[in-house]
Amino acid sequence: MTWADVRAEDPDVFRAASNGALLLVPAAAVTVLASSLAMETPWIHLPNWLDWARGLVMVVALVLAIGLWIWSLILLSLPGDARRGLAIAGFAKARGLHYSRYGLPPERIGILLAEGRGRTPSRAAGLAGSSPANPSLFRAEFALWQSAGNTAPPMQIAIAQYSGSTSDPKGPRNTFRYLQLALPRRLPHLMIDARGNGGLRSMLSGTQKLSLEGDFDRYFSVYVPAGYERDALELLTPDVMVCLIDHGRSWDIEIIEDRLVVASHRAGRSSDRAEYTAMLYFSELIGAELGHQAQTYSDPRAERPRSQVAEAGRRLRRRSAAWVTAAFFGVVAVMLAFPHVLGWWLDR
């Protein structure tokens, strides 16, 4: 996608970028003012009648400088975003898919998409996941998806950007590229953590870790609800494991209810070509392999074994935040106490 294509499609983004470049001048000037007042340098002198408000002026100048820098950088990024969107739209059109700058927000279920601790919300199968009672905590940007009427798309690939507040639950990443794929039925909660990128082992209890045959454990750590180990082996057949190793070894993969979620830490525009292509191909392969296992799966513990999963298998158990906090403060206490203990020992 050339810049000429972008100019022909959306010339306004270049005018906006020009305004962003002009904003750099006042942003730099206000930054110099804030720095001068903060360091009490002789570059800029306030009038005597305003000297009493030096602190207030410094704070206002600092906030204004930050706002100007952010706004100018946003305007300057618009041509690049437009070019990125046009390239992804062309990729989607060539493959019979749909593209939108903002897709359907991913459903707030599971670990990757920051579901609250201990929550097992009920929902109608196939409905869009962002509801007033359980709104999504992520925006879906640069979304490539299959059409499914007014329901959640059976497949969507997009960039997830965290949009929650500081008090909302957090996932392992605030920004990531994800693939969300519909499964034929609800399945037990499984987390397949890629060992190469880390990040999830601190969130899940080690007692739920399941060891699998062959080389699979070299690439992934699998977490399964207690008592569902045989179910996991039924779903993760050798064909499924080979597919994961050959095509998804760098991604974290979660099976949650009737969805498969794949998360990649490569979310920048430089990785668009490789990741969109790889995820689309992976969705075809894993959809065929895992979809077959899902269709034949049955949970004898559930009231309706062919369509439900019992309560014990719906969610993995998270690590207790209290233990993590206690461990952190314990390490800090040891570090602070070590010099005193060492001095006491040497002075004995």
Of the chain, the end-to-end C-alpha distance in Å amounts to: 74
| Better pLDDT: 210 or 337 | 210
At residue 127, the pLDDT reads 41
Yes or no: say if 76 and 21 are a contact pair by the CB < 8 Å rule.
Answer: yes
The torsion of the CA quartet 86, 92, 96, 101, rounded to 10 degrees, works out to -70
Tens-digit pLDDT profile for residues 96-107 = 999 999 989 998
At residue 78, the pLDDT reads 92
249/25 Cα distance (integer angstroms): 47
At residue 41, the pLDDT reads 63
At residue 226, the pLDDT reads 92
| Better pLDDT: 84 or 340 | 84
% pLDDT > 90, the chain:
54
Tens-digit pLDDT profile for residues 61-77 = 899 999 999 999 999 99
Please determine, for residue 88, whether its predicted confidence score (pLDDT) is greater than 80.
yes
Note if the pTM is more than 0.85: no
At residue 215, the pLDDT reads 86
Least confident residue range of 20-34, 37-51, 276-290: 37-51
pLDDT, average across residues 156-182: 91
Map tokens 């940007």 to a residue.
Answer: 141
Helix (H) or strand (E) holding 220: strand 220-223
Average pLDDT, the chain: 85
Q: Which two tokens stand for residue 30?
A: 């206000």
The SS3 call for residue 183 is: strand
Yes or no: say if 50 and 37 are a contact pair by the CB < 8 Å rule.
Answer: no
Tens-digit pLDDT profile for residues 200-209 = 777 887 789 8
What is the 8-class DSSP label of residue 166?
T
Helix (H) or strand (E) holding 280: helix 272-296
240/235 Cα distance (integer angstroms): 8
Least confident residue range of 40-44, 90-94, 316-320, 344-348: 40-44
At residue 126, the pLDDT reads 42
What is the 8-class DSSP label of residue 203?
T
Q: Which two tokens stand for residue 288?
A: 């065929």
Bridge partners, 140 (sequence order): 160
At residue 339, the pLDDT reads 72
Which amino acid, 227? G
Please determine, for residue 121, whether its predicted confidence score (pLDDT) is greater than 60.
no
Please determine, for residue 167, whether its predicted confidence score (pLDDT) is greater than 60.
yes
pLDDT, average across residues 236-253: 92
280/277 Cα distance (integer angstroms): 5
Tens-digit pLDDT profile for residues 297-326 = 999 999 999 989 999 999 998 876 555 566
32/26 Cα distance (integer angstroms): 10
At residue 124, the pLDDT reads 45
At residue 50, the pLDDT reads 66
Please determine, for residue 149, whether its predicted confidence score (pLDDT) is greater than 80.
no
pLDDT, average across residues 81-96: 93
User: How crowded is the C-beta side of 338, counted as CA atoms within 13 Å?
Assistant: 7
Bridge partners, 161 (sequence order): 139, 175
The CB density around residue 309, as the number of other CB atoms within 10 Å, is 24
Write b or e for each residue in 252-283: b if 16 or more Cβ atoms lie within 10 A of its Cβ, otherwise e: bbbbbbbbbbbbbbebeeeebeebbebbbebb
Bridge partners, 270 (sequence order): none
**Pairing state between β 175-194 and 252-264:** antiparallel
The SS3 call for residue 179 is: strand
Q: Which of 289, 272, 285 is nearest to 89 (CA)?
A: 272
At residue 40, the pLDDT reads 66
Least confident residue range of 142-156, 192-206, 318-332: 318-332
Task: Give the best-scoring range by mean pLDDT among 19-23, 49-53, 151-155, 164-168.
Answer: 19-23
At residue 319, the pLDDT reads 75
